[in-house]
């Protein structure tokens, strides 16, 4: 099927877009902020994603999309934004589910087609997604934040920082951080209506939203409601699905939805109230009910009836925040907050299969519940001057609890939790300038964070960055950070299974030999670790101050990735690929090694698809299978991944008598993205593989505005 000829193309064919502003709603947060023009004093309390110190910049590549830019581009949801961001890759998206060849276990679990950010193509679990700087509970067994549950009508801006930020935010910030900032300062009333369909017909999408905001004496209140619905787009209906039989498996796919039917209701409430000139209370709540429905039709060779899979999946997303900010004096601020978020997902699946020689008719209901609770307190402000240098610092403490529960047909499955105690500190030291008369600047940033996990123990992660401006308009920057990701609670499954299957063995001329597989839990599972580097230069030419250029180089070395060596669909070729799994494949095993595999089984049942009878209670497995091969397919910290490349950005805006003209270019080129299944395995490139990073991705834009009128064009490669 065409790579993007499915439902996502509807945006370019939108047949109606209406935005009604009942009152002016521009605020200071709506204005485009030019960091080149503002001093530290003028920046005030502006907080940039990637640092806890207000008014400071970060030494790693950063992209920010304002509300104005979101509206100009005609984006309808957050998935639209991240699909066009060159630094992001479509692993966990409704489109990404079709890239089965990539072998992603997480993507294979995306049965309800949620959307998650995946910076640098290192996996969605390696990108930390925040909302207003706070963590949220995830979908897909609690593993990733579902962007499709956050309506774009409630979003003020999107900030993306690439590069490890674990020293600032803790786990998961390996490839970078995505921060969704909501519209907390909106004033007035705004109504929006979007409707669109695919060019081939079908796949309609409707979205309605209403937002209100008002100043209320010492306080401010924002409230909103959003409704969205999408209708199915069947690839068979638009001629993008081959209706011929696959001879290898005797199957004809009769229908396949590129876009399923989804309904979403969302409510948003945000408020703040100043008790006095020094203390402000704030709170926010976001609730989303999302219901997914999908139906697939197929026919097996020799069948008299069509087979189908019918899936319905409602999910509830709730996030609550309450806190207080206090001015302590001496420009120091205290911010204390309590956050709670929860995602409940239920998947009701009915399956009927006529295989020609037998029929299968089954149904099951699977439920997952993930929750995150946290209490945090943070101080920030200037330190006493030393040798004429005034450094700024931020420090804080955080306690967090994560919970995950699952069940199938009411029978409890995984039930896991962990608590995390954290302490962090960050320092920004202006070693040189700038001043009004001297633009030269040299700024050092240091950060460190210690996290103590109830299930993994402690981990410390440092970070260092340097920003140097030798002359006006030219800035060099570099950064190093250590980062980590703890296994998701769902990955800490408590069961291990052993089973026997046949696999072709090239050592035996391709003849099938029995393989004893062991897969599931691994008691030695630990955090993934990474080292990230970035270097860059920003240039704003004096003769063309309306334009800016940026070039950044990045390198990420990711060790101990949690990996299942071979996904289930590849079990029949594991011996052909034995070179990828050194240390995991054991030929001619000892009696003790074979017994250890059988003893590790926790369900008391040894599956056997070899065609040869075997009773583990009364028979010796090596006596029954003298040519037995062992394959340790348990999830473990085994994979190594390395990525390096560069980003190039250009932007500009200049006034003429005919109006304001603007342009932009955002390019990412991946020089190398290699992976090894184990430390001793040969490496192989992931560049341009299905579902993995393309070597070059570009988004270019051009625009014109004059008064209330404007026109914009975008090109994506």
pLDDT at 394 (0 to 100): 96
Rg of the chain in Å (alpha carbons): 27
**How far, in Å, CA of 469 to CA of 124, rounded?**
35
Q: How far apart are CA 443 and CA 432, in angstroms?
A: 7
Helix (H, G, I), strand (E, B) or coil at 439: coil
3-class DSSP state of 428: strand
Instruction: Name the pLDDT band for 104 (thresholds 50, 70, 90).
Output: low
Is residue 697 within 8 Å of residue 717, measured between CB atoms? yes
Tell me the range of 31-40, 47-56, 68-77, 370-379 where mean pLDDT is highest. 370-379
Task: Please give the pLDDT value at position 108.
Answer: 63
Measured from the Cβ of residue 133, the count of other Cβ atoms closer than 10 Å reads: 20
pLDDT: which is higher, 711 or 572 = 711
Q: Kindly report the average pLDDT of the chain as a whole number.
A: 87
Q: Are 194 and 17 in contact (CB under 8 A)?
A: yes
Predicted pLDDT at 243? 86
Give per-residue burial for 88-120: e unless 16+ CB within 10 Å, then b: bbbbbbbbbbbbeeebbebbebbbbbbbbbbbb
**pLDDT at position 35 over 80:** no
Check residue 549 and give its pLDDT.
95
- Could you tell me the pLDDT band of residue 668, with boundaries at 50, 70 and 90? very high
- Give the pLDDT band (50/70/90) at residue 239: confident
| Alpha helices, H only, 339-385 | none
Helix (H, G, I), strand (E, B) or coil at 40: helix
Predicted confidence at residue 682, as pLDDT, reads 86
d(CA 522, CA 492): 8
Q: What are phi and psi of 617, to 5 degrees?
A: -80, -25
pTM listed for this prediction: 0.87
Segment among 62-71, 311-320, 493-502 with least mean pLDDT = 493-502
Other C-beta atoms lying within 10 Å of the C-beta of residue 458: 10
- For residue 201, the tally of other CB atoms under 10 A from its CB is 10
Please report the pLDDT score of residue 97 as a whole number: 67
End-to-end, the C-alpha distance of the chain in Å comes to: 18
| Cα–Cα dist 372/93, whole Å | 23
What is the spatial distance between Cα 690 and Cα 681, in angstroms, rounded to a whole number? 21
Report yes or no: 85 and 160 within 8 Å, Cβ to Cβ.
yes
Torsion angle defined by CA atoms of residues 113, 118, 121 and 122, in that order, rounded to the nearest 10 degrees: -110
pLDDT the model gives residue 106: 65
Confidence tier at 7 by pLDDT (50, 70, 90): very low
Q: CA 463 to CA 424: how far, in whole Å?
A: 11
pLDDT, tens only, 544-572? 888 899 999 999 999 999 888 877 656 77
Residue 532 pLDDT: 96
Q: Is the pLDDT of residue 608 over 80?
A: yes
Contact 117, 63 (CB under 8 A): no
Contact by Cβ (8 Å): 520, 497:
yes
Judged on CB neighbours under 10 Å (0-12, 13-18, 19+), 274 is: middle
What's the pLDDT band for 99 if we cut at 50, 70, 90? low
Cβ within 8 Å of residue 530, ≥6 positions away: 126, 164, 174, 482, 483, 484, 485, 556, 557, 558, 559
């Amino acid at each position: 099927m065409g790579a993007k000829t499915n439902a996502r193309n509807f945006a370019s064919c939108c047949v109606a877009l209406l935005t009604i502003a009942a009152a002016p709603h521009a605020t200071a947060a709506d204005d485009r902020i030019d960091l080149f023009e503002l001093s530290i004093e003028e920046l005030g309390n502006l907080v940039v994603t990637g640092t806890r110190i207000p008014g400071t910049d970060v030494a790693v590549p950063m992209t920010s999309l304002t509300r104005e830019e979101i509206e100009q581009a005609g984006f309808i949801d957050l998935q639209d934004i991240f699909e066009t961001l060159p630094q992001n890759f479509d692993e966990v998206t409704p489109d990404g589910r079709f890239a089965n060849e990539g072998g992603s276990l997480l993507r294979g679990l995306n049965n309800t087609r949620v959307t998650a950010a995946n910076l640098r193509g290192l996996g969605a679990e390696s990108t930390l997604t925040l909302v207003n700087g706070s963590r949220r509970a995830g979908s897909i067994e609690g593993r990733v934040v579902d962007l499709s549950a956050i309506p774009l009508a409630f979003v003020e801006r999107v900030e993306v920082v690439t590069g490890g930020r674990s020293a600032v935010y803790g786990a998961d910030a390996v490839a970078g951080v995505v921060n969704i900032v909501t519209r907390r300062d909106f004033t007035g009333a705004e109504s929006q209506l979007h409707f669109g369909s695919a060019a081939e017909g079908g796949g309609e999408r409707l979205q309605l939203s209403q937002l209100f905001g008002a100043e209320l004496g010492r306080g401010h209140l924002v409230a909103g409601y959003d409704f969205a619905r999408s209708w199915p787009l069947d690839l068979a209906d638009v001629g993008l699905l081959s209706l011929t039989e696959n001879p290898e498996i005797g199957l004809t796919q009769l229908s396949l939805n590129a876009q399923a039917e989804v309904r979403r209701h969302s409510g948003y409430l945000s408020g703040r109230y100043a008790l006095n000139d020094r203390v402000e209370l704030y709170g926010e709540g976001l609730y989303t009910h999302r219901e997914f429905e999908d139906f697939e039709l197929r026919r097996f060779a020799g069948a008299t009836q069509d087979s189908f899979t019918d899936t319905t999946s409602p999910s509830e997303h709730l996030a609550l925040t309450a806190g207080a900010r206090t001015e302590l004096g001496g420009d120091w601020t205290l911010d204390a907050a309590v956050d709670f978020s929860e995602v409940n997902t239920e998947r009701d699946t009915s399956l009927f299969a006529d295989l020609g020689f037998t029929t299968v008719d089954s149904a099951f209901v699977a439920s997952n519940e993930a929750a995150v609770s946290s209490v945090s307190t943070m101080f920030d402000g200037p330190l006493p001057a030393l040798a004429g240098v005034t450094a700024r610092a931020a420090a804080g403490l955080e306690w967090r609890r994560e919970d995950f529960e699952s069940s199938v047909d009411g029978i409890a499955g995984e039930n896991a939790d962990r608590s995390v105690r954290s302490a962090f500190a960050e320092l920004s030291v202006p070693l040189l300038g700038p001043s009004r008369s001297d633009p030269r600047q040299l700024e050092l940033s240091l950060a460190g964070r210690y996290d103590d996990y109830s299930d993994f123990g402690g981990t410390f992660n440092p970070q260092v960055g340097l920003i140097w401006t030798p002359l006006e308009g030219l800035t060099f920057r570099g950064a190093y950070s250590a980062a980590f990701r703890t296994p998701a609670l769902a990955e800490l499954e408590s069961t291990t299974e052993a089973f026997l299957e046949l696999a072709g063995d090239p050592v035996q001329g391709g003849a099938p030999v029995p393989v004893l597989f062991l897969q599931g839990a691994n008691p030695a599972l630990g955090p993934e670790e990474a080292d990230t580097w970035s270097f860059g230069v920003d240039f704003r030419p004096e003769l063309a101050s309306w334009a800016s250029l940026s070039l950044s180089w990045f390198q990420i070395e990711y060790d101990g990735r949690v990996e299942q060596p071979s996904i289930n669909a590849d079990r029949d070729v594991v011996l052909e690929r034995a070179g990828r799994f050194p240390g995991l494949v054991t030929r001619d095993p000892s009696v003790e090694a074979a017994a250890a595999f059988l003893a590790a089984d926790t369900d008391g049942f040894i599956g056997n698809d070899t065609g040869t009878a075997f009773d583990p209670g009364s028979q010796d497995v090596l006596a029954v299978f003298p040519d037995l091969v062992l394959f340790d397919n348990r999830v473990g910290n085994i994979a190594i991944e390395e990525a390096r490349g560069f980003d190039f950005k250009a932007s500009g805006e200049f006034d003429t008598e005919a109006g304001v003209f603007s342009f932009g270019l955002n390019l990412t080129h991946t020089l190398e993205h290699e992976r090894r299944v184990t430390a001793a395995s040969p490496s192989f490139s992931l560049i341009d593989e299905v579902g993995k990073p393309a070597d070059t991705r570009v988004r270019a834009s051009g625009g014109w505005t004059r008064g209330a009128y404007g026109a914009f064009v975008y090109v994506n490669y």
